[in-house]
A and B are shown apart, each in its own frame.
Chain A
Amino acid sequence: MEIFGIWLAAFLTLSIYSFLYRDNPFYRFAEYLFIGISVGYYIVIYIHQGFIPFAWEPFWAAVKPFWPGIPREAGWIGLIKLIPIALGLLFFGGLSPRHTWLIRYPSAVLVGFGSGISIPLMLQTFIFEQTRGTVEPFAAINAGTLSPWGIIEAVLMLIGVACTLTYFFFSVEHRGPVKWLSKVGIAFLMIGFGAAFGNTVMGRVALLIQRVDFLLNDWIGMIIGWLGTIF
């Protein structure tokens, strides 16, 4: 079984890599298999980690007190859990062309919740925290506790943040000093992107090495070992 697994993994790896040449039946086979398996996998995951704990169990807990023969322990307040379940069910309105408008309600709730949660978080992380991080080193400069290199870093950071912020002014025409500040800002952005590019490429090369290592050692190594036993 392990040998079959190695052969299958090697075949699928090569099928996916064959995309580098051009679209071909091997790539298509691997692509459809990958998509099919992933869809099936996620359906099972959603049933067990989504539907059962967040829809079926709360639904049952809400209606159980009203079931004949079961003592009413919870009461009406438990029925509040039916509201999100009903909202979720409205998504099925998309199945009927006449009722697609129904999905606007759960979508609006989702977008509203999402914005409500992410906007304060973004303000905290990307605005207030970053502003504080830019200003704070200057307290150390005043106290004389920052090294010369630290001072250069703090000043560079201030210039970088101020100029990059200028680049993202949309309702002001970029000419004169604004133009030059935003040009410096875009230069800072590009330096940052260059570093991120190099960092990520290194990570991807590591993944490639891992895959080539599998093909050379696990798969070809196994074939060579097998040929060795024959000859």
Chain B
Amino acid sequence: MIRKIKETLEKEDLSEKEFNAIALEIFEYQYNRNRFYKNFCIKKGITPGNIRNFKQIPPCPQRAFKYFELTAFETKKPEYVFVSSGTTEGLRSKRYVFYPEIYDNVIYKSFKKFFLPDMDKIKIFVFFTDFQEFKQSSLAYMYKRIFEKFGKKESAYFYKNGKYLFHEFLKKTKKEKEPVAILGTSISLYHLIQYLKENKIRIKLPEGSRILDTGGFKGLKVVVQQRDLYKSYSELLGVDEKFIVNEYGMCELISHYYDANLKFYFENKNTERIKLSLPFLKWRIVDPDTFEDKKEGVLIHYDLANFDACIAILTEDTGIKRGEGFVLKGRVQGFDLRGCSLISELNLKNSGL
């Protein structure tokens, strides 16, 4: 199975038929190797023998990763254990990574295709914790890998010991003559923008510079719209909006989506901001009650690289179909419901789950 996955992930193209066949094989593999997931599938009335299409695979709710060890290798020791940033009453999703080389390959291929299609290396400036300081973060891991693989010698981290190093960043970029890539979460880059605004600083990064941000704004005490933030990136850092890319991933998933605008730009296409990924990651937008395909609804991901956990993930994210991709609309806020909804949230942990 591992060899087969590795071969599949190397492919530039994957037909629907090929994808389907491997997806069903992985489903069977996971069904037989994870008792929790098996129980769930049985309750849903689905077993490996009675489905023919990968869309029928019961998608594992993202939330279940907070309560269960969802891995196809229950007895094997993982190389890494990543946890989600979002919590439900202190619980975080856990994602066990047994084959980091597969993860690395997915990171490299996606980043290259969607963020660096025009060059092999770039100066990378990261506004996030170094992986050494935060070994449970899949994002820190991803940045580390990107930094090492694609970063030029002068690349640097600008967040250390819990502090942003904005001043050092400005010193470094002042003399900059060649394009740079800024990587960070939307929140960390929001703080950068606030710093520039408060100090009335406006810089113009060299042409070809780009920004990759990720994540939402949960935890910020103010309401921020992504489009306003991107406008600020453009105005205060001098980066063309076509060169601003949002990456969408989650701890529970190995593969990632990227805004395709930069890729489209280099292909001389309309630089529409839609999310795309590599061929081994498919998605559906469905109605959460009926699971029928919809133009707007909740996202389900089918990731062949997730062979060691659950191939199908039912997210808490809403999206809208656009062209060959989708636009991420938002994440359902965990504790924002009206009515008597939260007694369960308080005590779910103690109820045997």
- A and B associate in one complex: no
